Structure 1
Amino acid sequence: MTSPSLPDAVDVVVVGAGLAGLRAARTVARAGRSVAVCEATDGVGGRVRTDVVDGFLVDRGFQILNTSYPALRREIDLDALDLRRFVPGAAVRDAEGRLHRLADPRRVPSWAPRTALDPLLGPLAKARVAGLALRSLVVPPSRQARAPERTTADELARWGLDGTPTETFLRPFLNGVLGDRDLETSSRVFSLFWRSFALGDLTLPSRGIGALPAQLAARLPADTVHLHTPARRVAPGRVETPHGTVRAGAVIVAAEGTAAAELLDGRIPAPRTFALTTHFHVTAEPPTRRALLHLDGAGGPIVNTLALTAAAPSYSPDHRHLVQSTVLGPEPLPERDLRRELARLWGTPVGAWDELATVRVPRALPAAVPPTPAGLRHPVSLGEGLFVAGDHRDTPSVQGALVSGRRTAQEALAYLSAGTR
């Protein structure tokens, strides 16, 4: 993906080879325009990457790929990713130490009796959760993105799901998905997420989440992506790097939101972000053979833990098993505390588990808190041929990154066309 030298000039230069940047570059290339992508690191993907540690696949923190995202289905050959599916549900350890296994009865009919009879949520709470899912399926996404806005916590309370349903199930589940400890996320965003859970499979590519950006990059013309090429300065019509300056008719900054704000000299505000830290352990004996997300219904520091190899054995180079566990914030949990909590959540000794890696993602997700723009879309054109893309301009998700990349590139192409008339 690297090339000997940067081009002197292209139609569009993209800063950042994350999902938004790669999607923008592909849109430009398909329109017949020349494009160069400048990436500061040694690989594509940004926050959606996979490293190899002692032969194990280690994703950049907690990753789950939801197959219901329309932009994902349009742009990605999902069959080629060899997706491995998780059970659409969760196992919840309550404060008394009991384990509750719940699944969507529509998707896993064999679990319907168990889920219906499980005492973690009462019949009324289960009916309200079902009603929430039905509303998200019936109401068109465009209306959900413009609905009256409140926080997610307030939205759950409006549905009568505050208290026990939130604290034992919904909060730990949403904490990991949104990175949002206090459920301040906009109800518009929550509604769209809930729709995606109701419609899609929760999966991971067999070769790690990094297979997603790798596929996008492979569809670009040769020598489009320039690795180890950080943008030192961005200005209308040019991007300055340690390897030279690239001139362009349009510049798209597709870096993470805080980095984008710095490069753009305050033309956009730096978004508030949520941090996640994920611990990876290796064990000879798996804590479970079910591909099911485990949650802490007692409010402990681990928001979720998952035996990755239960769904994707390919994450391991041999017979051993890989377990990931995520906490909120940029700091890892002290090892002694971590192992105590893991033993409680899994209900099994973990002293023999080997620590493999700890992945800190200090800016894992932009905070989509009220007030958000109607339609959940922030402007991407900054004037003078400067544009900005990323999940901080749409929704904090793979869907948001891909949609942002496409629409930003389309605006940049329209700008170029207007300039040649």
Structure 2
Amino acid sequence: MLDSARHTAHHADVVIVGAGLAGLSAAQQLTAAGVTVTVLETAHRTGGRMTTDKADGFLLDRSGQLLNTSFPELIRTPGLEALKLRPFTPGVLVHADGRNHRTGELRGAKRAFTTARAFAAARASRSAGLDQARLGAALARLAALPIDRMLARPDRPTSATLTSRGLPTRTVESFLRPLLTSLLSDPDLTTSSRCADLVLRGYARGRLCLPAGGSGVIPELMAAQLPPGTVRTGVEAVSVGTTSVGTAGHGTFTCRSVIVATGARAAAELIPGLRLPDFHPVTVLHHTADEPPLRDASLILTGTCRGPVAHTTVASEVDPDRAPLGRTLISSTVLGPSAATPTPELDRLARAQLARVYGTSTSSWHLLAAHHDPDAVPAMPAPHDVRRQVRLLSGLYVCGDHRDTSTVQGALFSGRRAAQAVLRDLGIRPGHGTPALRAA
């Protein structure tokens, strides 16, 4: 529950800086164990990068990250049982050779082989059928592989491993590369091959999807599970220690432990010596049109179609809540250096590309918003530790997608790990309620 900052001082067992997914996840775990918590958030709403703007009845996500129904934390996090996930249906299209090819969604071994056969039939080519059968088999193996075995594999840049999986070059370039580019937000695929395997494993086990009502619904549902007054918005933390957090204009918050759950750049500013990763920039373009350019809820990977957009979807077909009745919302994601292109030029280039992808004129489309974030996705170059230390010292902890994997799953799970580390240091068994600690 939210509470605007009105106090000049406050004490809690744990102060969490940042009300994004990691901070809210940590707060849930701690309050469930009976620990008193205060969450400080600079912005006037929760969510961090997972926020949704409202404009003329449209719901416009600021993040271009894709969710997957197989993310464990979406299932086990309190409050998210009410979250409605809208899968891309029938699935995924890849734009190549001037047209869109349907691939379907891969869910485990059986679905993988079924999809491979369906794709082969659509291409009406024996060689294409064999390629897709090999792809289905490779993804099925990943779906069944235990995570500990996956993380024991040699870690190299993803781009260097794509052709070592026994897949034909044409399959790698026409499907696997554009898929991983979108899932990792990394056009150059410098990302750790272990991280790539993790996201491919999730892809093979679940379905890509959007949250109904926008990505901002996720932090809203999580914050609603916390005791009233736990989250204080509009409070900027300027210094942290093991027993206090200093703020700009709201005094000092004292505590027994501090968790820094901000983005990586803000965390590095608060904690001297914390390593700052590189980032993958992202720009999300939201257009509206008179008519849907595609009347199904597919995700389109742009593949070899020249232009700045990596993937696009008619978001109002996936989730009707995102547009007013009778209106259309097309959401497209731009990755890499192109994301920094000035908005008028980026809009022009994107429209030209989207006209080819959707096979229709885009001249009458209206740009509703262009959200650019240079720090959107922390880079995960090889070698990458997917379980980076969250306990810096007794009383000071850090969490976020930059400590795990750069995904919604990674952010949520790192918050859980940080809370468990705090509870261990406080002598509380994680997962078990306990009376609130006495004030120091």
Q: Considering the TM-score relative to the shorter chain, is it more than 0.5?
A: yes
Q: Which residue number in structure 1 is paired with residue 76 of structure 2? A: 74
The letter of the residue matching 2:414 is: S
Q: Which residue number in structure 1 is paired with residue 358 of structure 2? A: 346
For residues 162 and 269 of structure 1, do their structure 2 counterparts lie closer, same or farther at Cα, with a shift above 3 Å needed? farther
The letter of the residue matching 1:319 is: G
Q: Which residue number in structure 2 is paired with residue 164 of structure 1? A: 170
**Aligned with residue 403 of structure 1, among 413, 417, 424:** 413
Q: Which residue number in structure 2 is paired with residue 250 of structure 1? A: 257
The letter of the residue matching 2:268 is: A
Is residue 265 of structure 2 the alignment partner of residue 233 of structure 1? no
Task: Indicate the SS of the match to 2:119.
Answer: helix
Counterpart contact for 2:112–2:140, Cα < 8 Å: no
Q: Which residue number in structure 1 is paired with residue 25 of structure 2? A: 23
For residues 147 and 113 of structure 1, do their structure 2 counterparts lie closer, same or farther at Cα, with a shift above 3 Å needed? closer
CA distance in 2 between counterparts of 1:35 and 1:343 reads: 50
Q: Which residue number in structure 1 is paired with residue 104 of structure 2? A: 103
Give the Å deviation of 1:182: 1.2
Note the 1:43-192 alignment, pairs <5 A: 43-87=45-89, 89-94=91-96, 96-104=97-105, 107=111, 114-119=118-123, 122-161=128-167, 163-192=169-198
CA distance in 1 between counterparts of 2:203 and 2:76 reads: 18
Task: Indicate the SS of the match to 2:355.
Answer: helix
Q: In percent, how many aligned pairs have the same letter?
A: 42
Q: Tell me the TM-score normalized by structure 2.
A: 0.89
Task: Indicate the SS of the match to 1:148.
Answer: coil
The letter of the residue matching 1:155 is: T
The gaps in structure 1 that reach 5 residues or longer are none
Q: Which residue number in structure 1 is paired with residue 285 of structure 2? A: 279
The letter of the residue matching 2:74 is: L
Give the Å deviation of 1:78: 4.8
The letter of the residue matching 1:70 is: P
Counterpart contact for 1:56–1:315, Cα < 8 Å: yes
For residues 6 and 127 of structure 1, do their structure 2 counterparts lie closer, same or farther at Cα, with a shift above 3 Å needed? farther
Q: Which residue number in structure 2 is paired with residue 318 of structure 1? A: 325
Q: CA RMSD in A?
A: 2.2
Task: Indicate the SS of the match to 2:351.
Answer: helix
Q: Which residue number in structure 2 is paired with residue 8 of structure 1? A: 10
1:344-366 deviations in whole A, cap 9, x for unaligned?
11110011111100011211111
Q: Which residue number in structure 2 is paired with residue 289 of structure 1? A: 295
Task: Indicate the SS of the match to 2:45.
Answer: coil
The letter of the residue matching 2:119 is: T
The letter of the residue matching 2:183 is: V
Flag as ranges the 4+ runs of structure 1 deviating above 3 A: 76-79, 104-114, 118-121, 160-163
1:96-138 deviations in whole A, cap 9, x for unaligned?
4122122147559997765123449823431231122122122
Q: Which residue number in structure 1 is paired with residue 210 of structure 2? A: 204
Counterpart contact for 1:295–1:305, Cα < 8 Å: yes
Give the Å deviation of 1:154: 2.1
The gaps in structure 2 that reach 5 residues or longer are 429-436
Q: Which residue number in structure 2 is paired with residue 368 of structure 1? A: 380
Counterpart contact for 1:63–1:209, Cα < 8 Å: no
For residues 49 and 6 of structure 1, do their structure 2 counterparts lie closer, same or farther at Cα, with a shift above 3 Å needed? farther
Give the Å deviation of 1:334: 2.5
Task: Indicate the SS of the match to 2:200.
Answer: helix
CA distance in 1 between counterparts of 2:408 and 2:310 reads: 21
1:63-101 deviations in whole A, cap 9, x for unaligned?
33211111221114555223222126322222x412212
The letter of the residue matching 1:146 is: A
Task: Indicate the SS of the match to 1:2.
Answer: strand
Bigger drift between 316-325 and 115-124 goes to 115-124
Task: Indicate the SS of the match to 2:161.
Answer: helix
Q: Which residue number in structure 1 is paired with residue 424 of structure 2? A: 414
CA distance in 2 between counterparts of 1:29 and 1:6 reads: 23
**Aligned with residue 309 of structure 1, among 310, 313, 316:** 316
CA distance in 1 between counterparts of 2:181 and 2:158 reads: 11
1:308-336 deviations in whole A, cap 9, x for unaligned?
01111110122111001111134245222
1:258-286 deviations in whole A, cap 9, x for unaligned?
211111012x2001111111110001200
CA distance in 2 between counterparts of 1:137 and 1:281 reads: 35
The letter of the residue matching 2:92 is: A
Task: Indicate the SS of the match to 2:269.
Answer: helix
Q: Which residue number in structure 1 is paired with residue 434 of structure 2? A: none
The letter of the residue matching 1:304 is: H
CA distance in 2 between counterparts of 1:309 and 1:353 reads: 15
Is residue 261 of structure 2 the alignment partner of residue 259 of structure 1? no
Q: Tell me the TM-score normalized by structure 1.
A: 0.93
CA distance in 2 between counterparts of 1:371 and 1:172 reads: 22
For residues 392 and 308 of structure 1, do their structure 2 counterparts lie closer, same or farther at Cα, with a shift above 3 Å needed? same
The letter of the residue matching 1:295 is: L
**Aligned with residue 44 of structure 2, among 42, 56, 59:** 42
Number of matched residues? 416
For residues 316 and 276 of structure 1, do their structure 2 counterparts lie closer, same or farther at Cα, with a shift above 3 Å needed? same
Is residue 397 of structure 2 the alignment partner of residue 387 of structure 1? yes
Counterpart contact for 1:88–1:107, Cα < 8 Å: no
The letter of the residue matching 1:2 is: D
